[in-house]
Structure 1
Amino acid sequence: MKAYKSKDDLLIGKTILITGAGDGIGKSLAIESAKLGATVILLGKTLSKLESVYDSIEALNKAQASILPLDLQGATEQHYIDLADTIKREYGHLDALVHNASQLGILGPFEQIPQDMWDNVMQVNVNAPFLLTKSLLPLLQQAPHASIIFTTSGVGNKGRAYWGAYCVSKFATEGMMQLLADEYENSTLRFNAINPGATRTAMRASAYPAEDKDALKTAFEILPSYLYLLGDDSIHVQGQRINAQ
């Protein structure tokens, strides 16, 4: 899967929503998905970054992308319901949902975790994927075969000291994915999670400020696993935790 080679028409006709699409892995995935034919819906909180990704996609002369600015930190359930209504009105269905946006929080001893920071991490990493998935399920069920991808971590299935709220949130992410995969086992929906591994992103740099970023893989280099799960070659893959590296 890490060496998966996608066909040039892999995602033609598919509409894909990517959260955290303005930077890092989300940005690279959005542009590559557009290259492979997808209509990409860019969701993020920073409009200028989303517009930059939009312009990059426009330059490809492929299917036109769309922008949905939304701050997951402050979004309510009604925001997600309205978002689903917008997608339904514009596209009628949704072929894939990629939960890419995450918040790291502050790394340190458990006993020193501030509650507001804990709440913020859980809001973005757990509550937002819950509410977004819930609101979009009817649209995903309208697709012939829909893929929902969660983003986990190396600390998402084995606890690691000092990784605090982020670690716990990724355990919850994997649990949510497994629950949904089990509930929808005999359906047209498939739920899986990807652990990107050490990747050259801003979040990685904040967690490991002294690390040599040039020694890490770029976001583009880890995309094969994502593309595999987005395309129809993975129709029968369900409930898996996949390491992109």
Structure 2
Amino acid sequence: MPQRLPVNFTADAACLKDKVILVTGAGDGIGRAAALSFAKHGATVILLGRTIEKLEAVYDEIEAMSAPQAAIYPMHLRGAAAHDYQELADTIEREFGRLDGLLHNASILGQRRSLAQTTLDSWEEVMQVNVNAQFMMTQTLLPVLAASKNGSLVFTSSSVGRKGRAFWGAYSVSKFATEAMMQILADEEYDLNGTRVNSINPGATNTEMRRSAYPGENPTDNPSPEAIMPLYLYLMSDDSREVNGQQFDAQPKD
């Protein structure tokens, strides 16, 4: 049964003070909102994405709010190899000594068509970005997360990653794999080094991906990414330090 944000949780203004948090896909959408929210609540945020101009814009927004100085780390997940992730881990260890949080937010939609009509190129691209890249990045960053003693690893899931649905193809399969990765890592890492691992289904949110998936939908009918940030703050803060291996819905159905 998916969990929801505890009703008694209120994010303290400094709930992420002195934490170092990496956000993938930080240039726009939910990743941008999360990076800004984490910084506003005291975190040093590492902004990872493929478009430098977007990352720089988020960096400038963080600077303007007088939050801890962010760091920019450009990376194209479609082409990144194992040595690229090792370089990322080495840089974080050298510059910060540890990683307190990792939000896997970056993913791509791929083709919205039946599995019978899905091209191999599209299938492989979705799996590379949504599954392989997350596996390689997580594997290389586990030691710096362990150095935190209270690390938080959050995967971004989807409703179609919990129940398959026609015409969601590779994206749906990739999100099922994401949920499996979360559960396995939660079972392996929490007792070993205190790193907790959970997943979030953001729900229908006014993002570019949602608009692409539902071009006929009125985007303003869905909440903004900023509206679902309390759950993200909860899972990155010490309030959730004993929460592990759980699926969360940012917009639970009553």
Bin the TM-score by the shorter chain: over 0.9
Structure 1 residue aligned with 2:218, among 184, 188, 212?
Answer: 212
1:97-108 equivalent positions in 2, closer than 5 A: 97-108=102-113
| Distance of 2:6 and 2:128 partners within structure 1 | 31
Task: Please tell me whether residue 140 in structure 1 is matched to residue 145 in structure 2.
Answer: yes
Contact 1:146 1:188 in 2 (8 A): yes
Equivalent residue number for residue 230 of structure 2: 224
| Distance of 2:213 and 2:36 partners within structure 1 | 26
Contact 1:2 1:222 in 2 (8 A): no
Give deviations 1:103-147, integer Å, cap 9, x for gaps.
000111111100010000000000011000001011000003000
Equivalent residue number for residue 174 of structure 1: 179
Q: Count the aligned residue pairs.
A: 245
What amino acid maps onto 1:156 in structure 2?
G
Contact 1:125 1:169 in 2 (8 A): yes
What amino acid maps onto 1:93 in structure 2?
R
Structure 2 residue aligned with 1:155, among 130, 153, 160?
Answer: 160
Structure 2 unaligned spans of 5+: none
| Distance of 1:18 and 1:185 partners within structure 2 | 21
Give deviations 1:36-94, integer Å, cap 9, x for gaps.
00000000000000000000000011210000000000000110001111111100100
Structure 2 residue aligned with 1:200, among 178, 202, 206?
Answer: 206
Task: Please tell me whether residue 77 in structure 1 is matched to residue 82 in structure 2.
Answer: yes
Equivalent residue number for residue 36 of structure 1: 41
Specify the SS of the correspondent of 2:217: coil
Specify the SS of the correspondent of 2:45: strand
Q: Which has the higher mean CA deviation after the structures are superposed, 185-194 or 22-31?
A: 185-194
Specify the SS of the correspondent of 2:190: coil
Specify the SS of the correspondent of 1:139: helix
Equivalent residue number for residue 191 of structure 1: 197
Q: Percent identity?
A: 54
Change (3 A) 1:31 1:94: same
Give deviations 1:143-174, integer Å, cap 9, x for gaps.
03000000000100110011000000000000
Equivalent residue number for residue 56 of structure 1: 61
Specify the SS of the correspondent of 1:155: helix
What amino acid maps onto 2:12 in structure 1?
K
Specify the SS of the correspondent of 2:160: coil
TM-score (norm 1): 0.99
How far is the alpha carbon of 1:2 from its aligned partner?
6.6
Structure 1 unaligned spans of 5+: none
How far is the alpha carbon of 1:219 from its aligned partner?
0.1
| Distance of 1:221 and 1:10 partners within structure 2 | 18
| Distance of 2:172 and 2:122 partners within structure 1 | 13
